[in-house]
Amino acid sequence: MWFSSFIRRRSLTIFVGITILGAALLVFFFNDKSWSISLPHVNSDGNIPVCPVQRKVLFRDRNCDLDSPKGLLYKQPGITLGRCDVVAVTPWSAPIVWEETFDPVLVDAIYKPKNLTIATTVFAIGKYIRFLRDFLETAEKHFMVDFKVHYHIFTDQLQDVPAVDLAAGRKIFVHQVPKLKRWQDISASRMQMIQTIIEEQLYREADYIYCQDVDAKFHFRWGAETLDRLVGQIHPWFYDLGRDQFTYERRPESTAYIPPGEGDFYYIGAMFGGRVEEVYKLVKSCHENLEADKANGIEAAWQEESHLNWYLLYNKPSKILSPEYLWDDLRGKANVMKVVRLSHILKNYAEVRENT
Protein backbone atom coordinates (compact mmCIF):
# COMPACT_ATOMS: atom_id res chain seq x y z
CA MET A 1 0.00 0.00 0.00
CA TRP A 2 2.74 2.43 0.93
CA PHE A 3 4.42 1.76 -2.44
CA SER A 4 1.24 2.58 -4.45
CA SER A 5 0.73 5.77 -2.42
CA PHE A 6 4.35 6.74 -3.10
CA ILE A 7 3.89 6.22 -6.87
CA ARG A 8 0.70 8.30 -6.92
CA ARG A 9 2.38 11.18 -5.03
CA ARG A 10 5.44 11.00 -7.32
CA SER A 11 3.24 11.03 -10.51
CA LEU A 12 1.25 14.00 -9.20
CA THR A 13 4.48 15.87 -8.47
CA ILE A 14 5.80 15.18 -12.00
CA PHE A 15 2.49 16.26 -13.58
CA VAL A 16 2.40 19.54 -11.62
CA GLY A 17 6.03 20.18 -12.53
CA ILE A 18 5.42 19.65 -16.23
CA THR A 19 2.34 21.90 -16.10
CA ILE A 20 4.27 24.74 -14.45
CA LEU A 21 7.16 24.31 -16.90
CA GLY A 22 4.78 24.36 -19.87
CA ALA A 23 3.07 27.52 -18.63
CA ALA A 24 6.44 29.21 -18.16
CA LEU A 25 7.49 28.29 -21.69
CA LEU A 26 4.25 29.68 -23.14
CA VAL A 27 4.78 32.96 -21.31
CA PHE A 28 8.33 33.08 -22.66
CA PHE A 29 7.29 32.36 -26.25
CA PHE A 30 4.54 34.97 -26.31
CA ASN A 31 6.82 37.63 -24.86
CA ASP A 32 9.79 36.76 -27.07
CA LYS A 33 9.30 38.68 -30.34
CA SER A 34 11.57 36.28 -32.28
CA TRP A 35 8.82 33.63 -32.13
CA SER A 36 5.49 33.81 -33.92
CA ILE A 37 2.48 31.55 -34.18
CA SER A 38 0.43 31.77 -37.37
CA LEU A 39 -3.23 30.90 -36.99
CA PRO A 40 -5.33 30.06 -40.04
CA HIS A 41 -7.38 32.87 -41.50
CA VAL A 42 -11.08 32.23 -41.09
CA ASN A 43 -13.59 33.47 -43.65
CA SER A 44 -16.71 35.41 -42.61
CA ASP A 45 -18.73 32.19 -43.05
CA GLY A 46 -16.60 30.45 -40.44
CA ASN A 47 -14.77 28.20 -42.89
CA ILE A 48 -10.99 27.94 -43.19
CA PRO A 49 -9.99 28.46 -46.84
CA VAL A 50 -8.08 25.62 -48.47
CA CYS A 51 -4.95 26.71 -50.33
CA PRO A 52 -4.31 24.91 -53.62
CA VAL A 53 -1.45 22.43 -53.47
CA GLN A 54 1.24 23.21 -56.02
CA ARG A 55 2.14 20.14 -58.07
CA LYS A 56 5.71 19.06 -57.53
CA VAL A 57 7.06 17.36 -60.64
CA LEU A 58 9.59 14.69 -59.71
CA PHE A 59 11.14 13.23 -62.82
CA ARG A 60 12.26 9.64 -63.13
CA ASP A 61 15.80 8.63 -62.27
CA ARG A 62 17.61 7.00 -65.17
CA ASN A 63 20.93 5.40 -65.93
CA CYS A 64 22.69 7.69 -68.41
CA ASP A 65 25.98 5.79 -68.42
CA LEU A 66 27.16 4.58 -71.82
CA ASP A 67 27.70 0.98 -70.73
CA SER A 68 28.89 -1.28 -73.54
CA PRO A 69 28.43 -5.06 -73.17
CA LYS A 70 31.54 -7.22 -73.14
CA GLY A 71 32.21 -9.27 -76.24
CA LEU A 72 30.24 -6.98 -78.58
CA LEU A 73 31.80 -6.87 -82.05
CA TYR A 74 31.40 -3.78 -84.21
CA LYS A 75 33.35 -1.81 -86.78
CA GLN A 76 36.45 -0.14 -85.37
CA PRO A 77 36.03 3.67 -85.14
CA GLY A 78 38.68 5.95 -86.58
CA ILE A 79 39.48 9.64 -86.36
CA THR A 80 40.78 9.98 -89.92
CA LEU A 81 37.90 8.18 -91.61
CA GLY A 82 34.20 8.91 -91.97
CA ARG A 83 32.05 11.71 -93.37
CA CYS A 84 34.08 14.51 -94.93
CA ASP A 85 31.17 16.23 -96.71
CA VAL A 86 29.30 17.41 -93.60
CA VAL A 87 30.06 18.91 -90.20
CA ALA A 88 29.43 16.36 -87.45
CA VAL A 89 30.09 18.50 -84.36
CA THR A 90 29.03 21.98 -83.26
CA PRO A 91 31.34 24.71 -81.91
CA TRP A 92 30.13 23.79 -78.40
CA SER A 93 31.06 20.11 -79.00
CA ALA A 94 27.56 18.70 -79.46
CA PRO A 95 27.34 15.94 -82.08
CA ILE A 96 25.34 16.46 -85.29
CA VAL A 97 23.91 13.09 -86.23
CA TRP A 98 24.24 11.98 -89.85
CA GLU A 99 24.26 8.56 -91.45
CA GLU A 100 27.72 6.97 -91.02
CA THR A 101 28.53 9.07 -87.94
CA PHE A 102 27.30 6.34 -85.53
CA ASP A 103 27.24 2.56 -85.32
CA PRO A 104 23.64 1.32 -84.89
CA VAL A 105 24.79 -2.01 -83.47
CA LEU A 106 26.81 -0.31 -80.73
CA VAL A 107 24.16 2.33 -80.03
CA ASP A 108 21.43 -0.29 -79.60
CA ALA A 109 23.65 -2.43 -77.39
CA ILE A 110 24.14 0.55 -75.07
CA TYR A 111 20.57 1.82 -74.85
CA LYS A 112 18.26 -1.16 -75.24
CA PRO A 113 19.18 -2.82 -71.92
CA LYS A 114 18.23 0.36 -70.02
CA ASN A 115 14.48 -0.38 -70.23
CA LEU A 116 13.71 3.16 -71.37
CA THR A 117 10.30 4.56 -72.22
CA ILE A 118 10.15 7.10 -75.04
CA ALA A 119 7.10 9.32 -75.41
CA THR A 120 6.26 11.03 -78.68
CA THR A 121 3.61 13.68 -79.21
CA VAL A 122 1.71 14.36 -82.43
CA PHE A 123 -1.13 16.79 -83.09
CA ALA A 124 -3.81 15.46 -85.44
CA ILE A 125 -6.23 18.39 -85.40
CA GLY A 126 -8.76 19.25 -88.10
CA LYS A 127 -7.93 17.83 -91.50
CA TYR A 128 -4.52 16.67 -90.28
CA ILE A 129 -6.22 13.58 -88.83
CA ARG A 130 -5.91 12.03 -92.31
CA PHE A 131 -2.14 11.69 -91.88
CA LEU A 132 -2.24 9.84 -88.56
CA ARG A 133 -2.51 6.28 -89.85
CA ASP A 134 0.56 6.55 -92.09
CA PHE A 135 2.53 8.21 -89.29
CA LEU A 136 1.74 5.43 -86.81
CA GLU A 137 2.12 2.50 -89.20
CA THR A 138 5.49 3.69 -90.50
CA ALA A 139 6.63 4.57 -86.99
CA GLU A 140 6.02 0.98 -85.95
CA LYS A 141 8.47 -0.10 -88.64
CA HIS A 142 11.22 2.45 -88.08
CA PHE A 143 10.79 4.61 -84.95
CA MET A 144 12.63 3.42 -81.83
CA VAL A 145 12.16 -0.22 -82.75
CA ASP A 146 12.35 -2.60 -79.75
CA PHE A 147 11.91 0.27 -77.29
CA LYS A 148 8.85 1.02 -75.19
CA VAL A 149 7.11 3.87 -76.99
CA HIS A 150 4.05 5.83 -75.85
CA TYR A 151 2.33 7.75 -78.64
CA HIS A 152 0.43 10.74 -77.27
CA ILE A 153 -2.06 11.90 -79.88
CA PHE A 154 -3.78 15.26 -79.48
CA THR A 155 -6.91 15.50 -81.59
CA ASP A 156 -10.38 17.03 -81.80
CA GLN A 157 -11.71 13.91 -83.55
CA LEU A 158 -11.44 10.98 -81.16
CA GLN A 159 -13.64 8.79 -83.32
CA ASP A 160 -11.23 9.02 -86.27
CA VAL A 161 -8.10 7.82 -84.48
CA PRO A 162 -7.18 4.63 -86.39
CA ALA A 163 -6.65 1.23 -84.83
CA VAL A 164 -3.03 0.28 -85.48
CA ASP A 165 -1.21 -2.93 -84.57
CA LEU A 166 1.48 -2.07 -82.06
CA ALA A 167 4.55 -4.03 -81.02
CA ALA A 168 4.90 -5.24 -77.45
CA GLY A 169 5.48 -2.45 -74.94
CA ARG A 170 4.09 0.28 -77.21
CA LYS A 171 0.88 2.16 -76.42
CA ILE A 172 -1.36 4.90 -77.79
CA PHE A 173 -2.82 7.62 -75.56
CA VAL A 174 -5.43 9.92 -77.06
CA HIS A 175 -6.02 13.41 -75.67
CA GLN A 176 -9.02 15.45 -76.75
CA VAL A 177 -8.32 19.09 -77.54
CA PRO A 178 -10.61 21.86 -78.80
CA LYS A 179 -10.82 22.76 -82.45
CA LEU A 180 -9.12 26.10 -82.96
CA LYS A 181 -9.92 28.70 -85.61
CA ARG A 182 -6.47 29.25 -87.15
CA TRP A 183 -3.55 26.95 -87.85
CA GLN A 184 -1.36 29.58 -86.18
CA ASP A 185 -3.37 29.13 -82.97
CA ILE A 186 -2.93 25.35 -83.18
CA SER A 187 0.80 25.84 -83.66
CA ALA A 188 1.14 28.28 -80.78
CA SER A 189 -0.88 26.11 -78.36
CA ARG A 190 1.35 23.04 -78.72
CA MET A 191 3.87 24.19 -76.12
CA GLN A 192 1.19 24.64 -73.48
CA MET A 193 -0.38 21.24 -74.21
CA ILE A 194 2.97 19.46 -74.05
CA GLN A 195 3.79 21.23 -70.78
CA THR A 196 0.47 20.10 -69.32
CA ILE A 197 0.80 16.44 -70.34
CA ILE A 198 4.33 16.34 -68.87
CA GLU A 199 3.05 17.75 -65.57
CA GLU A 200 0.07 15.42 -65.43
CA GLN A 201 1.48 12.17 -66.76
CA LEU A 202 4.81 11.94 -68.55
CA TYR A 203 7.10 13.00 -65.71
CA ARG A 204 6.41 9.71 -63.95
CA GLU A 205 6.13 7.45 -67.03
CA ALA A 206 8.73 8.45 -69.65
CA ASP A 207 12.48 8.94 -69.80
CA TYR A 208 12.63 10.82 -73.10
CA ILE A 209 10.10 12.71 -75.19
CA TYR A 210 10.16 13.65 -78.88
CA CYS A 211 7.64 16.11 -80.29
CA GLN A 212 6.87 15.52 -83.96
CA ASP A 213 4.52 16.48 -86.80
CA VAL A 214 1.79 14.09 -87.86
CA ASP A 215 1.96 14.92 -91.59
CA ALA A 216 5.10 12.82 -92.04
CA LYS A 217 6.13 9.25 -92.83
CA PHE A 218 9.07 7.20 -91.58
CA HIS A 219 11.28 5.56 -94.21
CA PHE A 220 14.40 4.40 -92.38
CA ARG A 221 15.82 3.80 -88.92
CA TRP A 222 15.01 6.58 -86.41
CA GLY A 223 16.60 5.20 -83.28
CA ALA A 224 18.52 5.53 -80.04
CA GLU A 225 21.30 7.56 -81.66
CA THR A 226 18.93 10.53 -81.18
CA LEU A 227 18.72 10.15 -77.39
CA ASP A 228 20.33 12.91 -75.37
CA ARG A 229 19.67 15.62 -72.81
CA LEU A 230 18.26 18.26 -75.21
CA VAL A 231 17.87 17.65 -78.93
CA GLY A 232 17.09 20.01 -81.81
CA GLN A 233 16.58 19.33 -85.52
CA ILE A 234 18.14 21.39 -88.32
CA HIS A 235 15.46 22.69 -90.69
CA PRO A 236 15.73 21.03 -94.14
CA TRP A 237 15.21 24.36 -95.94
CA PHE A 238 17.91 26.24 -94.00
CA TYR A 239 20.74 23.77 -93.37
CA ASP A 240 22.87 25.22 -96.19
CA LEU A 241 22.10 28.93 -95.63
CA GLY A 242 23.80 31.69 -93.64
CA ARG A 243 22.29 33.05 -90.43
CA ASP A 244 21.38 36.31 -92.16
CA GLN A 245 18.88 34.30 -94.22
CA PHE A 246 17.24 32.57 -91.25
CA THR A 247 13.63 33.57 -90.60
CA TYR A 248 14.19 34.39 -86.93
CA GLU A 249 11.88 36.82 -85.17
CA ARG A 250 13.55 40.18 -85.81
CA ARG A 251 11.27 42.55 -83.87
CA PRO A 252 12.79 43.58 -80.52
CA GLU A 253 9.29 43.84 -79.05
CA SER A 254 8.92 40.03 -79.16
CA THR A 255 10.37 37.71 -76.52
CA ALA A 256 11.55 35.53 -79.44
CA TYR A 257 13.76 38.33 -80.79
CA ILE A 258 17.18 37.29 -82.09
CA PRO A 259 19.38 40.24 -83.09
CA PRO A 260 21.16 40.35 -86.47
CA GLY A 261 24.55 38.67 -86.35
CA GLU A 262 23.44 36.06 -83.79
CA GLY A 263 22.30 32.50 -84.34
CA ASP A 264 23.70 28.99 -84.73
CA PHE A 265 21.28 26.99 -86.84
CA TYR A 266 17.66 27.35 -87.83
CA TYR A 267 15.78 24.63 -85.95
CA ILE A 268 12.51 23.22 -87.21
CA GLY A 269 9.58 23.42 -84.81
CA ALA A 270 8.28 20.07 -86.04
CA MET A 271 10.90 18.05 -84.14
CA PHE A 272 12.53 18.62 -80.78
CA GLY A 273 13.08 16.38 -77.80
CA GLY A 274 15.34 15.00 -75.13
CA ARG A 275 14.99 14.01 -71.52
CA VAL A 276 11.55 14.76 -70.16
CA GLU A 277 12.80 17.28 -67.59
CA GLU A 278 14.76 19.24 -70.22
CA VAL A 279 11.88 19.33 -72.68
CA TYR A 280 9.65 20.46 -69.83
CA LYS A 281 11.90 23.49 -69.23
CA LEU A 282 11.87 24.23 -72.96
CA VAL A 283 8.10 24.10 -73.47
CA LYS A 284 7.40 25.96 -70.22
CA SER A 285 9.73 28.78 -71.26
CA CYS A 286 8.28 28.95 -74.77
CA HIS A 287 4.71 28.90 -73.43
CA GLU A 288 5.45 31.74 -71.02
CA ASN A 289 7.07 33.79 -73.79
CA LEU A 290 4.17 33.12 -76.16
CA GLU A 291 1.78 34.37 -73.48
CA ALA A 292 3.91 37.45 -72.84
CA ASP A 293 3.87 38.27 -76.56
CA LYS A 294 0.12 37.70 -76.72
CA ALA A 295 -0.42 40.11 -73.83
CA ASN A 296 1.56 42.71 -75.80
CA GLY A 297 -0.36 42.09 -79.02
CA ILE A 298 2.58 40.41 -80.79
CA GLU A 299 2.68 37.10 -82.66
CA ALA A 300 6.16 35.84 -83.51
CA ALA A 301 6.92 35.29 -87.18
CA TRP A 302 6.62 31.50 -86.97
CA GLN A 303 4.76 31.11 -83.67
CA GLU A 304 6.29 28.36 -81.50
CA GLU A 305 9.10 27.72 -83.98
CA SER A 306 10.39 31.27 -83.45
CA HIS A 307 10.34 30.79 -79.68
CA LEU A 308 12.00 27.37 -80.03
CA ASN A 309 14.87 28.95 -82.00
CA TRP A 310 15.29 31.63 -79.35
CA TYR A 311 15.41 29.01 -76.59
CA LEU A 312 17.91 26.74 -78.36
CA LEU A 313 20.18 29.66 -79.19
CA TYR A 314 20.59 30.56 -75.53
CA ASN A 315 20.15 27.03 -74.13
CA LYS A 316 22.40 24.98 -76.40
CA PRO A 317 21.16 21.52 -77.37
CA SER A 318 23.42 18.64 -76.38
CA LYS A 319 22.75 16.83 -79.67
CA ILE A 320 21.51 18.03 -83.06
CA LEU A 321 19.79 15.93 -85.69
CA SER A 322 20.68 16.44 -89.34
CA PRO A 323 17.91 17.01 -91.91
CA GLU A 324 17.81 13.22 -92.42
CA TYR A 325 15.57 13.02 -89.36
CA LEU A 326 12.88 15.26 -90.85
CA TRP A 327 13.21 16.07 -94.50
CA ASP A 328 10.72 17.80 -96.80
CA ASP A 329 9.70 15.80 -99.86
CA LEU A 330 9.02 19.07 -101.67
CA ARG A 331 12.76 19.79 -101.70
CA GLY A 332 13.73 16.57 -103.50
CA LYS A 333 16.96 14.70 -102.72
CA ALA A 334 20.13 16.55 -101.65
CA ASN A 335 23.65 15.23 -102.24
CA VAL A 336 24.50 15.26 -98.53
CA MET A 337 21.50 13.05 -97.75
CA LYS A 338 22.55 9.41 -97.74
CA VAL A 339 19.19 8.41 -96.22
CA VAL A 340 15.83 10.02 -95.46
CA ARG A 341 14.53 8.74 -92.15
CA LEU A 342 11.35 10.81 -91.81
CA SER A 343 9.87 13.28 -94.25
CA HIS A 344 7.03 15.73 -94.52
CA ILE A 345 4.77 14.42 -97.24
CA LEU A 346 3.61 16.45 -100.22
CA LYS A 347 0.26 18.14 -99.60
CA ASN A 348 -1.79 21.22 -100.36
CA TYR A 349 -1.30 23.43 -97.29
CA ALA A 350 -4.12 25.73 -98.37
CA GLU A 351 -6.48 22.78 -98.28
CA VAL A 352 -5.46 21.13 -95.00
CA ARG A 353 -4.74 24.17 -92.85
CA GLU A 354 -7.53 25.86 -90.97
CA ASN A 355 -8.22 29.41 -92.21
CA THR A 356 -4.84 29.83 -93.86
pTM of the model: 0.81
pLDDT along the chain (356 residues), means of 10: 48 51 43 32 36 62 84 90 92 98 97 96 93 98 98 95 96 89 70 94 96 97 98 97 97 97 97 98 96 95 95 98 96 92 83 58
Query: Which phi-psi region, left, alpha or beta, contains residue 67 (left: φ > 0; alpha: ψ -120 to 50)?
Result: beta
Q: Summarize pLDDT for 69-82 with one digit per residue, the tens.
A: 899 999 999 888 88
305 is catalytic: yes
As annotated, the binding site includes 123-125, 128, 213-215, 235, 247, 305, 328
DSSP string, 38-61: PPPP--TTSPPPPPPPPP---PPP
Helices 276-295 and 183-197, packing angle to 10 deg: 140
CATH architecture, domain 96-352: Alpha-Beta Complex (3.90)
Supply the pLDDT for residue 351: 59
Provide CB contacts within 8 A for 47, sequence distance 6+: none
Selecting among 140, 225, 305, 324, the annotated active-site residue is 305
* pLDDT single digits (tens) 278-321: 999 999 999 999 999 999 999 999 999 999 999 999 999 999 99
